[in-house]
Amino acid sequence: MRRCSTNRWCRTLQVGARCSDEEANPRTERLMPNALTSLPRLGAGALAAVCLLGVTACGRGDDDSASADAPVASTVETAAPTTTPATTVPETTTTVAAVVIEATDELTAFASEHGALVADWSAQLEVFGEQAVDHLDDLSAAPASPGVREVSDELVAAVGADATDPGLVTLRDFAASASEALRLAADGDHPGAFAGFLDLQTQADDLTAVVDLITG
């Protein structure tokens, strides 16, 4: 799986959050701190594409507003004011600890039997992410959307309701939520689908660790 550019995804999430605020979506503000951390490989395309739901419309609106409200340049020359040199503040960086998933017997057995299914699911999420950028008004219109829903439901069934391994529970719940978000999009509830994928962002680190362990 491709490694995504963290800065690109962070910028996408920040703009998506700002626009969704204009749509009165309270969940985005709560999730914004996560946008400043490194997004994992798995499904980053899908998550970022969904966050772009508000980007295109708001971006076009910002462009129109900027052109309409742009101030007229003044032709009057004024003396440059005396300025005080700015104080340079050294940048600080934050290291996010990698998520470690224990390879329990239950998880190892699942990986042996269903590793190919997990790999297929991950690949279809990436394809969906690439296509969704062209279907921001209706994510369910992305050609890969039905396939993602189908394989997500298949993965949920494969893990089963009785799974106790934390990694498998994370995998099952993420797949179930992704399927539900796409169902909402298909039913016309696009704000609900958007909010669903934003919620999934909080599970992305754990999910990537699980998938990497299963697909090896």
pTM value surpassing 0.85: no
What secondary structure letter does DSSP report for 1?
-
pLDDT in tens, 87-102: 665 665 555 555 667 8
User: What is the structure's pLDDT at 174?
Assistant: 94
Confidence bin at 78 (pLDDT 50/70/90):
low
Q: Which amino acid is at 171?
A: L
Work out the pLDDT band at 85, boundaries 50, 70, 90. low
Where residue 129 falls among pLDDT bands split at 50, 70, 90?
Answer: confident
The stretch 4-32 carries a mean pLDDT of 40
* Residues 119/176, Cβ–Cβ less than 8 Å: no
DSSP 37: S
Residue type, 17: A
User: What pLDDT is stored for residue 157 in this prediction?
Assistant: 98
27-69 residue pLDDT tens = 444 433 333 233 334 444 445 444 444 433 344 344 444 444 5
Give 134's pLDDT tier (boundaries 50, 70, 90).
confident
Identity of the residue numbered 170: T
- Report which DSSP code applies to 83: -
Per-residue model confidence (pLDDT) at position 79: 55
- Rounded CA-CA distance 13/48 in Å is 7
Tokens coding 200: 């999934």
Task: State the average pLDDT for the chain.
Answer: 71
pLDDT at 137: 79
Please write the tens of the pLDDT for every residue from 136-184.
Answer: 778 889 999 999 999 999 999 999 999 999 999 999 999 999 999 999 9
CA-CA distance, 203 to 208, in Å (whole number)?
Answer: 9
Written as six digits, the tokens of 144 are 């890969």
DSSP state letters, 128-147:
HHHHHTT-TT-GGGSTTHHH
